[in-house]
């Protein structure tokens, strides 16, 4: 019996994964990844790199992708809460330029599976958050790409967290139409 519930979103290939937790007065235990369960669900990825970040409320990271070496990502929150977003950049997809988002937190234990061909970003809604993700391709800094977080053509409904804090790099990202990326 699997400890995961895989729910495909309105965008084909993007999944919200609910994780079964086992708790008592000492705390809880949960599996965060089990290769056979993921393969059985049709999510056959070979993860090669794990990443973790820490951010404060209002930090928005994204929307990021790699151009020549696209990454599939399995993301989750270790502490706090974020609103996580995937934007479809697959050229032949009927949902190209559309987005799907989900709240991930240390209390709901949800995960988000984002396949290759997507831009990814998140905003921290709690006072601070620790964010972890597995990638099926290594990070290539020279291969970075990005799309403006508030591109009106994509029209992401970001939660209101007060001040938005962006990196200098993310402030300069082009719109989807300007970047013209299609995987």
Kindly list the catalytic residues: 64, 133
Q: How many Å apart are CA 111 and CA 103, to the nearest integer?
A: 9
- H or E element that contains 87: strand 81-88
Q: Token pair of 139, please? A: 């990070």
The torsion defined by the Cα of 46, 134, 151 and 92, in degrees rounded to 10, comes to 10
Contact between residue 111 and residue 47 where contact means Cβ atoms under 8 Å apart = no
- Give percent helix, percent strand, percent coil of the chain, each to the nearest 5: 10, 45, 50
Closest to 16 in 3D by CA, of 105, 91, 92: 105
Q: How many Å apart are CA 104 and CA 79, to the nearest integer?
A: 10
Q: Who's near 61: CB < 8 A, 6+ residues apart?
A: 53, 55, 121, 122, 123, 167, 170
């Amino acid at each position: 019996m699997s400890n995961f519930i895989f729910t495909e979103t309105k965008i084909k290939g993007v999944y919200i994964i609910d994780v079964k937790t086992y708790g008592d007065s000492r705390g809880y235990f949960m599996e965060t990844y089990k290769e056979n369960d993921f393969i059985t669900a049709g999510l056959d990825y070979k993860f090669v790199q794990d990443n973790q970040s820490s951010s404060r409320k209002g930090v928005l990271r994204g929307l990021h992708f790699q151009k020549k070496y696209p990454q599939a990502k399995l993301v989750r929150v270790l502490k706090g809460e974020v609103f996580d977003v995937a934007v479809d950049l697959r050229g032949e997809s009927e949902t190209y330029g559309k987005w799907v988002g989900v709240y991930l937190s240390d209390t709901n234990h949800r995960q988000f599976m984002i396949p290759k061909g997507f831009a990814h970003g998140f905003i921290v809604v709690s006072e601070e958050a620790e964010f972890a993700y597995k990638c099926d391709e290594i990070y290539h800094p020279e291969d970075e790409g990005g799309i403006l977080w508030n591109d009106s053509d994509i029209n992401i409904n970001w939660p209101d967290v007060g001040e938005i804090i962006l990196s200098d790099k993310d402030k300069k990202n082009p719109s989807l139409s300007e970047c013209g990326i299609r995987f």
